[in-house]
Amino acid sequence: MIENELDASLEMHDELVSRRGVEVWIGAEPTFTRPDSIDSAWVSDPQGDDKLARAHTVATAFATELPGASVSRVIGRQFPGETEPRFAFGVRWRDDVTTGGSRVAADAAALAPPLEIAGDHWLSVTPDPGVVEVNMAPASSVLEFHRQARRVWSAAAAAGLSATRHRFNGDIVDSGGGGQLSIGGSRPHASPFVRYPHVLPALIRYFNNHPSLSYWFANECAGSASQGPRPDEGTRERWDELSITLGWLERLA
């Protein structure tokens, strides 16, 4: 019942945004870990233990919720010092295709990821230090984003993974990944930040002037060494660079 009410509210929100002629696409990179393990693969290392098998389960469980979706193993990222690319799984689907689809074994040969997906959706499941990262397909509405996220969390649960972990003292903390959100449009010039250049500077200034909003949702890794440091948590040059950037954006408005 609550989900139905939430879907209805999000649908209304999307309709109001559409009426204003605004296009907002959302993407995200949620991360999941194995909360019952202290193996290095689930604490600090990008690969190892049963991470490949569980990532494969995430991809196939997600695809099961989408008739016509196909799962493939693709060549993953390779960072300095790594001898070979990491594993990765991709899920590809179309809204207008509800039949067919295919699956691959976890140890299938890795293919190059697609360079062009046309009107398809593309989601990838990749390893990162201590977690499995899901790079969600960009969603053209908040409702679509919510439904996809719901499938992602369900698929992670099917693989025995969680968005939280336990410390030795019992504290519940996030999985440890960045958990970034991306906001834009279907094309660069359709992004609300490009169409309305004053919006991004105003948003940044608002958060900068209200530090509690930054720390309210912060994990235990805050400050200059975190994945999302505030401008006032780093070097003095950040202020100068940010001021120049915001001024340039406002002149475009």
Phi and psi at residue 102, to the nearest 5°? -150, 165
149 and 128 part of one domain = yes
23 and 138 part of one domain = yes
Element at 171 (helix H, strand E): none
Residue 213 and residue 218: Cα distance in Å, rounded?
Answer: 9
58 and 118 part of one domain = yes
62-90 residue pLDDT tens: 999 998 999 999 999 999 999 999 999 99
The whole domain housing 83 covers 2-190
Residue 19 and residue 234: Cα distance in Å, rounded?
Answer: 41
133 and 209 part of one domain = no
219 and 122 part of one domain = no
131 and 20 part of one domain = yes
184 and 237 part of one domain = no
Q: Using alpha carbons only, what angle is made at residue 214 by residues 212 and 218, rounded to the nearest 5 degrees? A: 110
Asked which of 139, 156, 190 is the last residue of a domain, the reply is: 190
147 and 227 part of one domain = no
98 and 156 part of one domain = yes
Element at 200 (helix H, strand E): helix 199-209
149-162 residue pLDDT tens: 999 999 999 999 99
* pTM score: 0.88
44 and 162 part of one domain = yes
DSSP code string of 10-54: HHHHHHHHHHTT---EEEE--EEB-TT--SGGGTT-SS-TTHHHH
71 and 103 part of one domain = yes
Asked which of 157, 174, 190 is the last residue of a domain, the reply is: 190
Per-residue pLDDT of the chain (253 residues; tens, 9 = 90+): 677 899 999 999 999 999 999 999 999 999 999 999 999 999 999 999 999 999 999 999 999 999 899 999 999 999 999 999 999 999 999 988 878 788 989 989 898 888 888 889 999 999 999 999 999 999 999 999 999 999 999 999 999 999 988 888 888 888 877 678 899 999 989 999 999 988 989 988 888 888 888 778 777 777 777 777 777 777 677 778 888 888 888 887 6
Residues 6+ apart with CB under 8 A from 53: 106
Asked which of 151, 173, 190 is the last residue of a domain, the reply is: 190
Cross-sheet strand order for the sheet of 31-32 = 31-32, 131-135, 121-128, 87-93, 70-75
162 and 228 part of one domain = no
Task: Give the count of domains, the chain.
Answer: 2
